[in-house]
Amino acid sequence: MAEVAMVGADIQEVIGSAIAIKILSRGFLPLWAGVVITAMDCFIFLSLENYGVRKLEAVFAILIATMAVSFAWMFTDTKPNMKGLIIGILVPKLSSRTIRQAVGVVGCVIMPHNVFLHSALVQSRKIDPNKEHQVREALRYYSIESTMALAVSFMINLFVTTVFAKGFYGTKEAGSIGLENAGQYLQEKFGGGFFPILYIWGIGLLAAGQSSTITGTYAGQFIMGGFLNLKLKKWIRSMITRSFAIVPTIIVALFFDASDSALDVLNEWLNVLQSIQIPFALIPLITLVSKEEVMGVFKIGRNTQAVTWTVATLLITINGYLLLDFFSSEIRGLLSGSILCLAVLAYASFVLYLILRGTELSNQIITTIRKSFS
């Protein structure tokens, strides 16, 4: 499931970067060319690691800063209603017409593979795991780093959402807005002054795609190494996931015109796919960090366990409701409905298995099942 989430995320990164390249080249490079360029550029960035991890981290920081500045610039140009923005943050509202977007937001903001990445990055520094003070210091600094990263991510998402709300809410273009035509519509509406807003959007989109590429490759390396005990070089790992990502993306890029919203529809479905993966990242993570035989003295306390399980349960419940509502609105007919019911049952059983695995109750259920078949 983690690998499926990784491949889905990689396709999104390819789509975003390819569209950004088309925008910045003024349409000279078609989508399929952008897909090919994006498929290859990851290896260039990863080659920087040969000169030290710090160099790669510096490039990553530059990309994040570029993305933040670009979207903040757009935010300033559009001059949103700050009072309405604050009210929207404090008292969020959701209508039944925005189910697909809501599911997508949950999936694309809480990227399942990044849960593994943040947990694994703490091992990338040279510390002695037998010295408690060194481990606690590393955990403290990575907690600060993760908090800062999430804060920056929140602000970037806030900028983009606000700009789109200001530019498109209640307009006839709202139903057809996608990654490619959004910049053009914003350019027509707000201009951009000294620097055209279309190219600000393209630069931010490209920086977002490239930074996600690097984090995705690192997360994939940790996932493969952790689940399969398979240590691959990063360029091989990247080649494997990129192969899965490129094929469906380049097919869509070749056979659909820019006027068709095929890439945006694909992107929405991939966000839904990410949402489906969330329990398979959160449940094992919280379970493992709660076990003393795994974490030793570093296991989380009862209060932290209660808070994390409450948040995870709430998130999974809301996510499950939204997914069920989304699929039920998309699927018509008895056969499709039956397949959906079976898929939901299998999915719920799988999540329940994750929760109960290794507990006394699960052992009793397995024993009962075995006896019934013996």
Please tell me whether residues 121 and 227 are part of one structural domain. yes
**Same-domain check for residues 182 and 316:** no
The pLDDT value recorded for residue 133 is 84
216 and 98 part of one domain:
yes
Q: Which of 223, 258, 293 is the last residue of a domain?
A: 258
Query: Phi-psi bin for 196: left (phi > 0), alpha (psi -120 to 50), beta?
Result: beta
Question: Are 147 and 12 part of one and the same domain?
Answer: yes
289-313 confidence digits (pLDDT tens): 888 888 888 888 889 889 988 988 8
The domain of 331 spans 260-373
**Domain finish residue from 195, 228, 258:** 258
**CB 315: neighbour CB atoms within 10 A?**
16
- What is the per-residue pLDDT across 36-60, written as a single tens digit (0 to 9) for each? 887 777 667 667 666 766 777 777 7
Q: Which residue has the higher pLDDT, 22 or 330?
A: 22
Same-domain pairing of 53 and 99? yes
pLDDT band at 1 (very low <50, low <70, confident <90, very high): confident
Is 65 within 8 Å of 57 (Cβ atoms)? no
> Which residues in 64-76 are b (16+ Cβ under 10 Å) and which e?
bebbbebbbbbbe
Same domain, 22 and 148: yes
Q: Tell whether 265 and 245 lie within a shared domain.
A: no
Q: Tell me what pLDDT residue 193 has.
A: 62
User: Whole-angstrom Cα distance, residue 103 to residue 87?
Assistant: 22
- Please tell me whether residues 244 and 267 are part of one structural domain: no
Domain count, the chain: 2
Domain termination site, one of 214, 240, 258: 258
pLDDT in tens, 270-290: 777 777 788 888 888 888 888
Is 197 in the same domain as 337?
A: no
206 and 284 share one domain: no
Same structural domain, 167 and 304: no
